[in-house]
Amino acid sequence: MSNGTSVRYKVAEAARSAGVSASTLRLWESQGLVVPDRSATGHRQYSAEDVARLKKIAWYRTERGLNPAAIREALESEEPSDSSDAADASDLGRRLRSLRHAAGKTLDQVAGDVGVAASTLSTLERTSQGVSFKTLHDLAEYYSTTVSRLSGEERDAVPEVVRAGAWRTWPETTPGVTVQLLAEGRTMMDCHRFVLAPGAASEGAYRHDGEEFMHVLSGRLELVLDSDQFFDLGPGDSLYFESRRYHSWRNRHDGETILIWINTPPTF
């Protein structure tokens, strides 16, 4: 959750400021209460905003006696529900939080229903990152919406040329998976360009309504249907299948795999 400020605190410094131990900070991170940045060598780095959040967490814990779930809810209630100048990346998390509030659910309830850790869901709502593609689909289905809508693909359809290299990009919720829009607006098809880093995968099988078509431009993709049909797709290969079939995928290339992926109707 760290942002543009240049001040960075090490674990020991941040712990001292919050009046707790370094091991407590690591525990709070595992519970999804705070998400520090990482240095190039993998060390935790806390911003001034993070330290202020740590102090609030410590106060809620000692003065109010709240458990981690209650602390997450208390911190969340302090955050503005909307911000017109926020980036699209944080919009996805806010949309999920708004849907959860509208459903009258707590983080722990939704996490239990969907089958993810509450800390993972909390991180997603605050940073729009940290979940597999499968989990994102499961959440969209849980809230009776689509991943495309969650990712901000709801715009009025107008005839428009999308120039090469000028694609609008989804928030990168899943490491190594970049999704670019090839058509804008409320269309009858979800038209996307997927760029998959080496090893990037759905991390599980998912399904939804509709039909879909994929065409590999470069690299190599492994697609599995219903856990027992394996397809090894290379450059120039295409595949069309019903979306209600469970499907999972993985980039098996040692470089990027790039493909065109179309879903219809827009239930993706």
Closest by Cα among 215, 264, 212 to 238: 215
Residues 72-122: tens digit of each pLDDT: 878 777 665 444 333 444 678 888 888 888 888 888 888 899 888 887 888
Residues 237-268: tens digit of each pLDDT: 999 999 999 999 999 889 999 999 999 987 66
* Residues in a beta bridge with 251: 221
Residues 55-74: tens digit of each pLDDT: 989 998 888 888 888 888 78
Distance set, CA 179 to CA 21, 79, 132, 173 (Å) = 40, 28, 14, 10
Q: What pTM value is reported for the model?
A: 0.61
- Strand ranges, E, within the chain: 37-38, 44-45, 177-181, 190-196, 211-218, 221-225, 229-233, 238-242, 247-251, 257-264
Between CA 193 and CA 185 the distance in angstroms is 16
Which positions ≥6 away from 1 have C-beta within 8 Å?
Answer: 34, 35, 47, 49, 50, 53, 126, 127
Residue 2 has what pLDDT?
A: 41
